[in-house]
A and B are shown apart, each in its own frame.
Chain A
Amino acid sequence: MATSSGGGATPLKPPAQPPKSIPELTPTSQNQKLQPLELSPNPITPPNLTSAPPIPTADSKQPTTPATVNSRPREPDFDVIHVPSYSRWFSWNDIHECEVRILPEFFDGKSPSKTPKVYKYYRNAIVKRFRDSIIENPPSKENPMPKITFTEARKSIIGDVGSVRKVFDFLEAWGLVNYFGSPLTKAQLKWEDKESKNVSAASQQNSDNGGANSVGDASVPKKKFCSSCNSLCTIACFSNIKKDTTFCARCYVRAGVNSADFKRVEISEEVKTDWTEKETLHLLEAVMHYGDDWKKVSEHVVGRSEKECVDRFIKLPFGEQFTGPPDSIEPEENVHKAMDRFDIESNPSKKMRLTPFDDASNPILAQAAFLSTLAGVEVAETAASAAVKALTEVNIETSKEILESSAGDARDHDSVTTNGKSNTNLLEGAYLEAKLQLEKEEQDLERTISDIAEVQIVRFEELELQMEREWQQLRQMQNLLFADQLTLLFHKKDGNESMEQKVKTELS
């Protein structure tokens, strides 16, 4: 599998000129910052950028994307590779943590054919293929968004197609392939890829989406044709007010849209009938009376089906409010707690920001996202974190139960039953007791250690005394020895002297 060779052995090399370091585009009113990575005097560049002409940005994380230049060294104009700002972590040689998060199957070692190496090979192969295809067929008038299809990509990748598809979907969702950088194109984040981990990120996306999508119904009913696929828009379409173009729902989803400029327009309603003031009034009354019972609401509003009522209601502009979290939802515990926080914190007269949930495959998550868009970004985040905290508290609960069970059996039953009702006092008591016991044990430990230490010290002292004595003895012996030596010397001297005398006397 092509691994780091993706960075090295390919014929692409970093450009000769160092990337210019110019500050990034200042954030425009769009929510997604565009990061064109190379200068493009090429007129092929989509002229629809609302900001100034693309400034080359130094993006150290993409050292090899300017390398697409080198594959056609004669061309003076470079291709612009646009990557949405939320994907700027991408780098050829590294795997970012969000990739690990979103595609965990490659990183958990359960399957020998799904390793990080393989993942990198798939990913780099797909991205490379996309960029090569951009070079071969640059965006042009007839084909402003030359995308590669999954089938094309997987045909050239050695590996099992299921995983290739997942990687491809991920890359497409995050704008690393099939993304063209103009404000007309932004990849839609798909719900099935984003599990609960990304609720807050997604809710941000969705609230931004929703902000644009609300209020889109005032236009005169007329036949709308999609500007990209030229098909009659039937159910819903999205029109770009600024550029005066229209996309049908399919193209909108496929192309990915920058939500700030697009407004959703319900065709079906307008084609059939416009909602008159009276009908809207009726609708509001009905909703106030009947709340969630759309059947009754539709009866109250003469001539509208339930679906139409719901559609109309959620599209009502500023000032309308939900009376509260719909009762028909059956959220999980998390969301319950989240909703509690909603009620405390949410401002009742919030602007409704809703999004079309095209593929909310997980109904619970769809509800969660729906609620979070109602409440807004920060609220959703705090709610999510509070929910997580609550969950962990439940975990602590269960672990404390275990603690208690080791303390005493009789109390166990009570504590289990009462803990089940989240009685925090007992919890705290148990916690404190555990702490006390811990401290006691620590103290015991310290004492025993100090005892042992003392004993050792005493023994050491004895030994030291002994040593001192022996030292003294040694010194004494040394002295004695010295004395002996002296006497020996003296004797020698005496001996010599007497010898001399004797010799003298003998001689004389």
Chain B
Amino acid sequence: MKPHPAWSSLRNPVKFRIPTADNLVPIRLDIDIDGQRFRDTFTWNPSDPDSDVILFAKRTVKDLKLPPAFVTQIAQSIQSQLTEFRSFEGQDMYTGEKIVPIKLDLRVNHTLIKDQFLWDLNNFESDPEEFARIFCEDLGVEDPEVGPAIAFAIREQLCEIAIQSVASAKETRINKKGRRGAEHLPLSKPGGSALDTLKLFGNKSSVIRKRREWDLYEPIVDMLSNEEVDALEAREA
């Protein structure tokens, strides 16, 4: 194959950020104190002052009537995720021509969502929130908590991928320093999907998805009954 044009954009590293219109950090909380479990996911704005973290933790504990030991735990968890995110922030990441598949597989209260679609990492104007909102509207999802969960899932995956690309950028730099003419091997993993699309489009095949792949990419929204919900929760716990 000819040298992939995707890698031409490797020359231009971009400052690390989540490739969405607003730079929000997905935060996942999973705290277990004395047998009481608190799981939650939400998005946080890293430019908010850190004092907000404590305020938020206190508020949440108060609202949900959790024991006060949760406050510090929650705050700590949020802080550590934030600092981790910030540690990546100054660095470069190579995005390349990355169109990545995003998979949704989540259960919110009684609604089960399964979906898969492609997302362009280079599109810094992308908006998972908007996507989630339209998703819920179009598919008639009534539970208002589903929207944020979808947005969060997308954001989380994007964040992971962005972190990976930073990591890989570091590796290539090290490699370059180490050996001349090193191949961009570490990139092949996250660049896997990019290769796919190139193959797709490069071979003059149509942009329309093949029929056998339709099922794969179709969104599925299921409503569960109470027993199923209980069963699933028992399994997760």
Contacts and interface: CB of A to CB of B under 8 A. Distances in A.
Contact of A159 (B43, B48, B52, B145): B43
Contact of A113 (B22, B59, B60, B145): B22
Contacts of A157: 148
Nearest to A162: B48
B55 interface: yes
Nearest to A147: B63
Contact of B45 (A129, A149, A155, A160): A160
B42 A161 contact: yes
B201 interface: no
Nearest to B59: A150
Interface residues of B, number: 27
Interface in A147-170: 149-152, 154-163, 165
B64 A161 contact: no
Contacts of A163: 45, 48
A111 B147 CA distance: 22
Interface of A: 1-2, 111-113, 129, 149-152, 154-163, 165
Given A165-B52, A165-B55, A151 B60 contact: yes
B133 A1 contact: yes
A113 B45 contact: yes
Given A155-B42, A155-B144, A156-B145, 16 more contacts: A1-B133, A111-B47, A112-B22, A112-B23, A149-B62, A150-B60, A151-B63, A157-B148, A158-B132, A159-B43, A160-B22, A160-B43, A161-B42, A161-B43, A162-B52, A165-B59
A307 to B, nearest CB: 25
Contacts of A161: 42-44, 56
B60 A155 contact: no
Max count, chain A CB within 10 A of own CB: residue among B21, B132, B144: B144
Contact of A111 (B22, B64, B151): B22
Contacts of A156: 144-145, 147-148
Contacts, number: 68
A162 B44 contact: yes
Contacts of B147: 156, 158
Given A113-B21, A165-B52, A151 B59 contact: yes
Interface in B5-47: 21-24, 42-45, 47
A129 B21 CA distance: 26
B156 interface: no
Contacts of A162: 44-45, 48, 52, 56
B130 interface: yes
Nearest to A160: B45
Interface string B50-87: 00100110011011100000000000000000000000
A68 to B, nearest CB: 17
Residue among B42, B133, B145 with max Cβ neighbours from chain A (10 Å): B42
Contacts of B43: 159-161
Given A155-B145, A156-B144, A158-B133, A149 B47 contact: no
B97 interface: no
B64 A151 contact: yes
Contacts of A113: 21-24, 45
B49 to A, nearest CB: 9
- Which of A154, A155, A156, A165 has its CB near the most chain B CB atoms (within 10 A)? A155
A120 B59 CA distance: 22
A377 B110 CA distance: 54
Contact of B133 (A2, A150, A151): A2
A160 B23 CA distance: 10
B63 A150 contact: yes
Nearest to B63: A149
A190 to B, nearest CB: 12
Contacts of A2: 133
A104 B63 CA distance: 26
Contacts of B64: 149, 151
The 5 closest A-B pairs by CB, nearest first: A113-B22, A149-B63, A156-B144, A151-B63, A162-B48
Interface string B113-133: 000000000000000011011
23 contacts: A113-B22, A113-B24, A113-B45, A129-B144, A150-B59, A150-B60, A151-B60, A151-B63, A152-B63, A154-B42, A155-B144, A155-B148, A157-B148, A158-B133, A158-B147, A160-B44, A160-B45, A160-B48, A161-B42, A161-B56, A162-B44, A162-B48, A165-B56
A158 B60 contact: no
A139 B133 CA distance: 31
A111 B63 CA distance: 28
Contacts of A129: 144
Contacts of A151: 59-60, 63-64
A154 B45 CA distance: 14
Nearest to B136: A158
Interface string B214-237: 000000000000000000000000
A103 to B, nearest CB: 13
Interface string B148-189: 100100000000000000000000000000000000000000
Nearest to A164: B42
A111 B24 CA distance: 11
A18 B42 CA distance: 42
A159 B59 contact: no
Contacts of A150: 59-60, 63
B22 A158 contact: no
A2 B130 CA distance: 9
A158 B148 contact: yes
Contacts of B129: 1, 158-159
Contacts of B48: 160, 162-163
A228 B8 CA distance: 68
A158 B150 CA distance: 9
Nearest to A129: B144
Contacts of B52: 162, 165
A112 B52 CA distance: 19
Interface in B95-115: none
Contacts of A149: 62-64
Nearest to A152: B63
Given A149-B63, A155-B148, A165-B59, A112 B21 contact: yes
A112 B22 CA distance: 6
Contacts of A111: 22, 45, 47
